[in-house]
Amino acid sequence: MRSVRAKAALGATLVVAVALVAAGLAVLLVLRGNLTDRAGLEAEVAAREVAGQLALDVPYADLDLGDEDTHPVQVTDERGRVVAVSDELEAITGTGTPQVTPQAAAGTPDDDDDDDDSRDDDPARGEVSSDEPDFTDGAATVDGDRADYRFAAVEATTSRGVTLTVHAGAPLAAEQEAVGSVRDAMLIGLPALLLVVAGVTWLVTRRALRPVEGIRRELAAITASQDLGRRVPEPGSRDEIARLARTTNETLGALEASVDRQRRFVADASHELRSPIASLRTQLEVGAAHPHLLDVEGAVADTVRLQALAADLLLLARLDAGERPGRTVVDLGALVREEVSQRTGDRIQVEVSVAADGTSEVAGSRGQLARVLGNLLDNAVRHAERSVSVAVEADRTDVLVEVADDGAGVPEEERERIFERFVRLDDARSRDDGGAGLGLALARDIAARHGGALTVGASSLGGAAFVLRLPRHG
């Protein structure tokens, strides 16, 4: 069963069926119990009426046994012998003895018929047991009609100490008829109700899943056309399907942006690689034809640029692939001093300031963090006029490295754009002077991989101030 609608309809039908069957059985049991208790109460009343007469020493032959068609009565003595029965009782079960023919019993009221005067002088009287009667289910045949009865057994003691048991029955026909009617109604109504439940569930599920089918068709069309600019329809409801559609569109948007970024990256990388390769090839071809015209320094410079660009592209590819930085403890203050000390050929001297209070240790890759500092210093030296400064300080949670220059600064509207790959604010600037536009993009990506951030603002020197913020170790 592959259809969600069919599964939902079947599941709902089974749940409702189980619930209805359980409820129906409970109703039947309660109804039967109530009707059976009512029949038992009727039987108890009839049995106590006869027991009261026995307690008053009424002779067996003179007992008023009530309506024998409704309440058949059987009286037995201590030995289980039948001493009195309803007139038209022909058979009985469920009372302890099937006998329906009275037998003479010693010590009964009938034994003292000739001694009425002496009995009248005897102050002793019989009594009816006040204990809860015993109830049994059985059957009785009265005047040829057999029926089921609920029997109540009540004990009575005569004035001479003879204990008799009165079995009186109440018919269970009303209980059986009522239970049967309810059962038949449930058997007829249950299938119809289950069909209604299944149909309604099918229709409701079909209506609820209609937007899902629209989403599926649109995704299939997007897959076939490879057009990531398309979006799935979003229903106007605020349910889970609407949230699924919105999330799907957000995913498609992110995928489209990623693919576009990848395409631009490939195009820009190809363009950036073409320039030094073409220059290097031209110089080598000229050198091959005219050795005295070979520009060795230019060829070396192009080779160095090509090597640096290839290294940047390789690092970007590793970062995009999700490479995690190491967890080496790095002292940013010491790393800044080391990086600055190696820049002996810069046209501008870099001033370093490291706060003495507090540690400047962070966890990460020493090589990648050195690349970030190197790129920031390269950018500052390239745009500075006379001054570049690096300040390292720490607060309670982070270590901050600020690289500031006194250059032209970065316009506020361009402060996020400069972190995009292959972006140069001065497009007319030569690539030899301006680089490929990957340094700041690499720096921000590395900072993000280390759980930090890289931002740019205005510096106190009048130019740009790049602030690297990384989580403090420990």
When the pLDDT of each residue in the chain is averaged and rounded to a whole number, the result is: 84
pLDDT for the residue numbered 104: 61
Report field, pTM of the whole predicted structure over 0.85: no
- Note whether 44 and 154 are within 8 A (CB): yes
In eight-state DSSP terms, residue 254 is H
- Segment 461-473, tens digit of pLDDT: 889 999 999 999 8
pLDDT for the residue numbered 289: 84
Give the C-alpha distances (Å, rounded to integers) separating 218 from 63, 395, 408, 433, 469: 92, 51, 50, 49, 43
| DSSP result, 3-68 | -HHHHHHHHHHHHHHHHHHHHHHHHHHHHHHHHHHHHHHHHHHHHHHHHHHHHTT--GGG-----T
Closest alpha carbon to 38 in 178, 225, 142: 178
* pLDDT(235) > 90: no
* pLDDT(302) > 60: yes
The C-alpha atoms of residue 46 and residue 154 are separated, in whole angstroms, by 10
The C-alpha atoms of residue 104 and residue 208 are separated, in whole angstroms, by 82
Instruction: Please state the φ and ψ torsions of residue 65, each to the nearest 5 degrees.
Output: -90, 10
* pLDDT(392) > 90: yes
* pLDDT(311) > 50: yes
- Note whether 325 and 364 are within 8 A (CB): yes
Go through the domains of the chain in sequence order and give each one's CATH number. 4-179 (3.30.450), 240-320 (1.10.287), 328-471 (3.30.565.10)
The C-alpha atoms of residue 367 and residue 387 are separated, in whole angstroms, by 26
